């Protein structure tokens, strides 16, 4: 099972960014992911994000991961 990248859209500047969190789909679906803090790399604002705020993307393995 592949890993998911968790991204959010900054509540201040509106730009999407990668949170650095990775998890498998089952863990994401079962997890609550409440009150997670992330700092936007674009504007520096630190905000709280909940599960509904996350956009998930499949992690694409790089050449070294094969």
Q: pLDDT of 25-64, one tens digit each?
A: 999 999 999 999 999 999 999 999 999 999 999 988 777 6
Q: Tell the residue number behind the tokens 């993307």, with chain if given.
A: 57
Domain boundaries, the chain: 3-60
Query: By CB neighbour count within 10 A (0-12 exposed, 13-18 middle, 19+ buried), where does 53 fall?
Result: middle
pLDDT higher at 2 or 26: 26
pLDDT at 66 over 70: no
Give the whole-angstrom CA distance, residue 14 versus residue 30.
Answer: 27
- Quickly state the pLDDT bin for 2 (edges 50, 70, 90): confident
Answer yes or no: pTM beyond 0.75: yes
């Amino acid at each position: 099972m592949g890993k998911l990248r968790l991204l959010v859209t900054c509540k201040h500047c509106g730009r999407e960014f990668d949170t650095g969190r990775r998890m498998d789909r089952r863990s994401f679906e079962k997890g609550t992911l409440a009150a997670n803090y992330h700092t936007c790399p674009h504007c520096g604002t630190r905000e709280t994000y909940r599960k509904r705020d996350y956009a998930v993307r499949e992690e694409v393995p790089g050449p070294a991961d094969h």
